[in-house]
Amino acid sequence: MKIAILHPSYDQSNAPFKDFDPACVPDFYLPGHDYTNFQIHKTTAVRQVAEIARMKFDVVINLCDGAWEEDRPGIEVVQALERLGVAFTGAGSAFYDPSREAMKMACHSAGVKFPAYVVATTDDEAASAFDRLRAPLIVKHPHGYSSVGLTRASRVTTVEDLRREAARTIDSYGAALIEEFIEGREFTALVTEPRDDSEEAWALQPVEFGFPPGESFKHFDLKWKSFEELETRRIVDDGPLAIRLQQAAILTFVALGGSGYGRCDLRMDAAGDIFVLEINPNCGVFYPEGQHGSADLCLANDPAGHRGFLEHLLACAIRRRDRARKPWALQFIRDRGFGLFATRALRAGDLVEQYEGRPHVLVSRRHVERHWHGLRRQWFESYAWPITTGLHIAWSDDADDWRPINHSCDPNTWLEGLDLVARCDIAAGEELTIEYATFCGPAMAPFECRCGAPDCRRVILGSDHLLPGIRVQYGDHVSEFVRTAWHQTSPDWRPACEIFLNDLGLGVMARRAWRASEIVSPLQWTRRQSSPGRWTLQLGEHEHAEPRPFELRYVNHSCAPNVHFDVDEGVVRALRDIAPGDELRAFYPATEWSVTERFICRCNGAQCLGVIGGAAHLPPDTLARYPLSGFIRQKLK
How do residues 129-141 score in pLDDT, each as one tens digit? 988 999 999 998 8
HSE of 596, CA atoms in CB hemisphere, 13 A: 9
What is the average pLDDT across 92-104? Answer: 95
HSE of 471, CA atoms in CB hemisphere, 13 A: 15
pLDDT single digits (tens) 568-607: 999 999 999 999 999 999 999 999 999 989 999 988 888 8
Residue 151's pLDDT is 84
| Average pLDDT in the chain | 93
Residue 627's pLDDT is 97
- What's the rounded Cα separation, in Å, for the pair 25 and 20? 16
pLDDT single digits (tens) 377-432: 989 988 999 999 999 999 999 999 999 999 999 999 999 999 999 999 999 999 99
Pick the range with the lowest mean pLDDT from 214-223, 296-305, 541-550, 565-574: 214-223
- What's the rounded Cα separation, in Å, for the pair 263 and 265? 7
pLDDT single digits (tens) 477-520: 999 999 999 999 999 888 999 999 888 789 999 999 999 999 99
User: Residue 17 pLDDT more than 80?
Assistant: no
pLDDT single digits (tens) 315-331: 999 999 999 999 999 99
Query: Please, what is the Cα angle at 338 between 334 and 341, to 5 degrees?
Result: 105
User: Residue 127 pLDDT more than 70?
Assistant: yes
What is the average pLDDT across 27-56? Answer: 97
- What's the rounded Cα separation, in Å, for the pair 535 and 130? 73
Strands (E), 417-551: 419-422, 431-434, 447-448, 459-460, 497-502, 505-510, 519-522, 524-525, 537-540, 543-545, 547-548
The fraction of the chain above a pLDDT of 70, given in percent, is 98
- What's the rounded Cα separation, in Å, for the pair 126 and 18? 31
Residue 479's pLDDT is 97
pTM (2 d.p.):
0.81
What is the average pLDDT across 329-343? Answer: 94
Predicted confidence band of residue 231 (pLDDT cuts 50, 70, 90): low
Predicted confidence band of residue 148 (pLDDT cuts 50, 70, 90): confident
Residue 211's pLDDT is 82
- What's the rounded Cα separation, in Å, for the pair 4 and 84? 15
- What's the rounded Cα separation, in Å, for the pair 5 and 23? 11
Higher pLDDT, 270 or 504: 270
User: Residue 236 pLDDT more than 60?
Assistant: no
Residue 502's pLDDT is 85
Q: Under DSSP, is residue 328 helix (H, G, I), strand (E, B) or coil?
A: strand
The fraction of the chain above a pLDDT of 90, given in percent, is 82
Pick the range with the lowest mean pLDDT from 20-24, 160-164, 372-376: 20-24
Predicted confidence band of residue 531 (pLDDT cuts 50, 70, 90): very high
Q: How many helices (H) and strands (E) does the chain have?
A: 16, 38
User: Residue 147 pLDDT more than 80?
Assistant: no
Predicted confidence band of residue 228 (pLDDT cuts 50, 70, 90): low
Residue 232's pLDDT is 64
Predicted confidence band of residue 31 (pLDDT cuts 50, 70, 90): very high
What is the average pLDDT across 45-61? Answer: 98
pLDDT single digits (tens) 604-630: 888 899 999 999 999 999 999 999 999
User: Residue 76 pLDDT more than 70?
Assistant: yes
What is the average pLDDT across 22-41? Answer: 96
Residues near 140 by beta carbon (within 8 Å), at least 6 away in sequence? 149, 150, 154, 169, 176, 177, 178, 179
